[in-house]
């Protein structure tokens, strides 16, 4: 038997093994993955920007704020100083805590997916850069917190807001040591990059706020065009 044939057989076996992996631990991003927060987040950002005399008639121009840490976004997209960005986050929360948090929609079919995965014995976690207090409040509002073993987010002061930090914290807190059976589900490049840093697989969802190009460029292991495709990837059906 030739060495070339053996190497080709090894490659085929590896591909088969990769296809046959069933994920046991599924981490979900929140904004743009579990829920569509577009109205609430962009209204909150617009409210904060108005404090600095900045008008934003086109709310879609604020979509890049959905996903990354807020302070980073004010600094990156509007070139705020660190001090101004921190104050902008405070203004943002004035609107968000009262109204914006509820200007939010649960994606169609998501609760059914979570219920089925939970019933199948999967460990479900939330890993979001949003402050943990807000994340818990949102999941309770939609009555889906019961499906998650742990809900991990950032601190109110911005600590633990990097996606890798949140993912690592969620896995550690939930006592997950088998990283080969874990996968991060998210809609932005930050989710994919965080998963890579944490040493786990990733699913990029195409119904959120990141484009196919963004997710492919970030190196997503899988892409899901809808909620049912997440089910097929996770359960290998």
What is the sign, positive or negative, of the torsion defined by CA atoms of 187, 118, 179, 166? positive
DSSP state of 126: E
Rg from Cα positions in the chain: 19
Torsion sign over Cα 18, 24, 203, 73: negative
Residue 29 annotated to the active site: yes
**34 CB-near residues (< 8 Å, 6+ apart):** 28, 106, 107, 110, 126, 139, 144
Q: What angle do CA 130, 67, 76 make, to 5 degrees?
A: 105
Separation between Cα atoms, residue 126 and residue 148, nearest integer Å: 7
Catalytic residue, candidates 20, 29, 58, 116:
29
The phi and psi torsions of 61 (rounded to 5 degrees) equal: -65, -15
Tokens of 163: 């996606």
Distance, CA of 90 to CA of 87 (rounded, Å): 5
Question: Which pair of tokens denotes residue 120?
Answer: 């199948």
Separation of CA 202 from chain center:
10
Residues 192, 74 contacting (CB under 8 angstroms): no
Task: Supply the residues annotated as catalytic.
Answer: 29
């Amino acid at each position: 038997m030739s060495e070339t044939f053996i190497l080709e057989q090894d490659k085929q076996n590896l591909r088969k093994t990769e296809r046959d992996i069933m994920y046991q631990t599924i981490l979900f991003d929140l904004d743009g993955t579990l829920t569509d927060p577009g109205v609430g987040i962009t209204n909150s950002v617009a409210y904060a920007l108005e404090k600095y005399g900045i008008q934003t008639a086109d709310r879609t121009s604020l979509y890049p704020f959905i996903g990354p840490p807020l302070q980073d976004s004010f600094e990156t997209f509007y070139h705020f100083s660190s001090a101004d960005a921190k104050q902008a986050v405070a203004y943002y929360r004035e609107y968000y805590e009262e109204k914006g948090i509820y200007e939010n929609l649960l994606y169609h079919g998501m609760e059914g997916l979570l219920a089925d995965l939970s019933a199948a014995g999967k460990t479900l976690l939330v890993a979001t850069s949003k402050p943990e207090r807000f994340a818990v409040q949102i999941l309770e509002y939609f009555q889906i917190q019961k499906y998650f073993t742990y809900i991990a987010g950032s601190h109110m002061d911005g600590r633990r807001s990097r996606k890798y930090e949140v993912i690592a914290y969620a896995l550690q807190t939930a006592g997950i040591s088998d990283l080969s059976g874990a996968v991060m589900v998210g809609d932005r490049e930050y989710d994919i990059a965080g998963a890579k840093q944490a040493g786990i697989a990733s699913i990029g969802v195409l119904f959120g706020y990141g484009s196919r190009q963004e997710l492919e460029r970030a190196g997503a292991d899988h892409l899901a065009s809808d909620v049912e495709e997440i089910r097929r990837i996770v359960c290998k059906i």
